[in-house]
Chain A
Amino acid sequence: MNGQQKTQERYEIRFSGSGGQGLITAAVVFAEAVGVYDGKYVCQTQSYGPEARGGKSKAEVVISSRPIDYPKALELDLLLAMNQAACDAYFYDLKQNGLLVVDSGLVEQHPTSRIIAIPFTDIAKEEIGRKLVANMVALGAVGLLSGQVNLDNLEKALLARVPKGTEEMNSRALQRGIEEARKINLNDLPRSVMSDDYDEV
């Protein structure tokens, strides 16, 4: 069907936004679901230091069916950008037919028409009642769109990590993200003609 279908050794995801949006937590939950519950090889890294507290923050997950050598992202398959600064800075690390997923309420200028824009923060605020869980809405969407994780395991990993008493809220946020992502048809996204040619080689 297209190049994206072939099995590849590595799948790389970057969760990015500003410090405090809970992107590292989202990446850790994702890594735990993929590694501990799904049984794949996984490496999770994050920006460390002053930039993790405000400004741009990023956390990466590399998934593979084989042992992982280089632990950080080389070329992203999926970039989640939860603010404009992160979207601008990291867009260029995306593969030609990689997926760009943004918070449509926070990222107004789109670097490409090949974009999936979902109002994660608005959904969290208005439907779940807490802006705080926007990361979990996004996690649900990334979980589905990447196709790299068993969604039941993603929920299990999430519930094992969140503070007691917040399970229901987090679980609802995750499910809302999954629901929103289900509305997206990946085959409808514009594709690079160039990269199809390259896949043939």
Chain B
Amino acid sequence: MSEPTKQRHLLQGNEAIVEGALTAGCRFFAGYPITPASEIAEQLSIKLPAVNGTFIQMEDEIASIGAIIGASLAGVKSMTATSGPGFSLMQENLGFACVAEVPCVIVNVMRGGPSTGLPTSPAQGDVQMARWGTHGDHSIVVLAVSTVMDSFTITVKAFNIAEKYRVPVILLSDEVVAHTRECVELPDTSEIKVVDRIRPSVPPDWYKPYEGDARGVAPMAAFGDGYRHHVTGLIHDIMGFPTQKPGEVEEFHLRQTKKITRGFPDIQMTKGYFLDDAETFVIAYGAVARSALRAVQDAREAGIKVGLLQLITLFPFPRRTVAPLLGQCRSVLIPEMNLGQMSREIQRVNQGSCNVVKYNRIDGKFITPREIYGQLIKL
């Protein structure tokens, strides 16, 4: 939409996700339009063909995620984007991507739910679904963006994590971030770290498609590379064939968990503001983190020792950052545009040492700094 000038661009959050995806090397997108995510598909339908990538508008979201899984198995970095109703449909195939360890990025621009809900209103109601929406124990990474610049950098990071750990990554945005235009200076591509999946270094006959390396991640051959292998949604052995042997089943699950656990320092991202001497603090994510930052700055000016921890990685839950702060502060406020989906994670790791206060809004309205400030002064 906007013409590039002096490397500065006025972009919507959704457009910045597109730029991030292209920079990360995404060359395949399959999706179905839905408010408030449609701009992502719209932009990629123009930009992907221009870089020899592929854009497909599918018949629905089930097919969309199926297509990106297929593309990724064929060796192409791929992404889809949707909102709550479409994300619900994607859950079955999302489980397949988890079990078959197919790197891919699924963007969910959250709107009011459940069902068709509130199409044009912001919400953060899909947080627990992003973690646990598909059935069975599984490893998954969930990231949340709060600014247009984030929408660019975290999208690159999402692809990097997906490739490095062979895991689907859910990128949560919301209607506010998606449609806000901000001026951003996009870094030169040479300054950006882009990670590609590790390919097998052994001859095809020796290839064991699901044997983890030291990190627990298996090198990934692309379909057509000559490494004939089997991909299935059934629990499989290191050769990729179904197994029910308890030892192999357990090993499969533990490796999937371990590869993410070992990556915690790399995967778990947070941003802290005014935390050093904080006596109380706010934990927020997505657009709400922006309202919280404003409220915290206002409270600091009024002499209140309050800090802000912004979660970028929601899952795996950044316990190592959160727990010490819960020990340091007497109270924590968790404002969310849902009835308390991240606050339950915080309560889980709290062990009773900190007073956990929720502030929730589910009326389709964005939480304002004034509301958070009003809660802060009562902590």
Contacts and interface: CB of A to CB of B under 8 A. Distances in A.
Nearest to A61: B181
Contact of A70 (B10, B121, B369): B369
A101 interface: no
A66 B290 CA distance: 14
Interface in A52-101: 68-72, 74
Q: How large is the interface on A (under 10, 10 to 19, 20 to 34, 35 or more residues)?
A: 20 to 34
B368 A31 contact: no
A45 B183 contact: no
Contact of B182 (A39, A46, A71): A71
A98 B291 CA distance: 23
A64 B5 CA distance: 20
B8 A48 contact: no
B36 interface: yes
A184 interface: no
B181 A31 contact: yes
Contacts of B182: 35, 41-44, 68, 71
A137 interface: no
B169 to A, nearest CB: 25
A44 B10 contact: yes
A74 B6 contact: no
A114 B366 CA distance: 31
Given A32-B2, A69-B290, A71-B290, A48 B179 contact: yes
B145 to A, nearest CB: 13
Contacts of A45: 176, 179-181
B188 interface: no
A163 interface: no
A190 to B, nearest CB: 28
Contacts of A35: 8, 10, 182-183
A70 B179 CA distance: 14
A160 B5 CA distance: 10
A28 interface: yes
Contact of A39 (B8, B10, B179, B287): B8
A165 interface: no
Contact of A71 (B3, B176, B370): B176
Given A39-B8, A49-B119, A49-B120, A70 B180 contact: no
B9 interface: yes
Contacts of A39: 8
B97 interface: no
A36 B182 CA distance: 10
Contact of A36 (B10, B120, B175, B368): B10
B297 interface: yes
B175 A48 contact: yes
Contacts, number: 75
B181 A44 contact: yes
A173 B182 CA distance: 26
Contact of B183 (A41, A70, A160): A41
A120 B120 CA distance: 31
Contacts of A44: 10, 180-182
A6 B18 CA distance: 40
A42 B10 contact: yes
B73 interface: no
A66 B173 CA distance: 23
Given A31-B10, A41-B183, A36 B290 contact: no
B290 A28 contact: no
B366 A43 contact: no
B294 interface: yes
Contacts of B176: 45, 71-72
Contacts of B175: 48
A36 B6 contact: yes
B293 interface: yes
A60 B1 CA distance: 19
Interface in A1-52: 28, 31-32, 34-37, 39-46, 48-50
A32 B10 contact: yes
A144 B369 CA distance: 30
Contacts of A43: 180-182
A70 B181 contact: no
Contact of B294 (A28, A46, A70): A70
User: Which one of B36, B294, B297 has the greatest number of beta carbons of chain A within 10 Å?
Assistant: B294
B73 to A, nearest CB: 37
Interface of A: 28, 31-32, 34-37, 39-46, 48-50, 68-72, 74, 160
Interface of B: 2-3, 5-6, 8-10, 36, 119-121, 175-176, 179-183, 287, 290-291, 293-294, 297, 366, 368-370
28 contacts: A28-B10, A31-B10, A35-B182, A35-B183, A36-B2, A36-B8, A36-B9, A41-B182, A41-B183, A44-B10, A44-B181, A45-B181, A46-B179, A48-B36, A48-B120, A49-B120, A69-B291, A69-B293, A69-B294, A69-B297, A70-B290, A70-B293, A71-B287, A72-B176, A72-B366, A74-B294, A160-B3, A160-B5
Given A35-B183, A48-B179, A70-B369, 16 more contacts: A31-B10, A32-B10, A35-B8, A35-B182, A36-B5, A41-B183, A48-B120, A48-B175, A49-B119, A49-B121, A69-B290, A69-B291, A69-B297, A70-B291, A72-B366, A74-B294
Closest 9 interchain pairs by CB? A35-B183, A49-B120, A44-B181, A69-B293, A70-B294, A69-B294, A32-B10, A71-B180, A36-B8
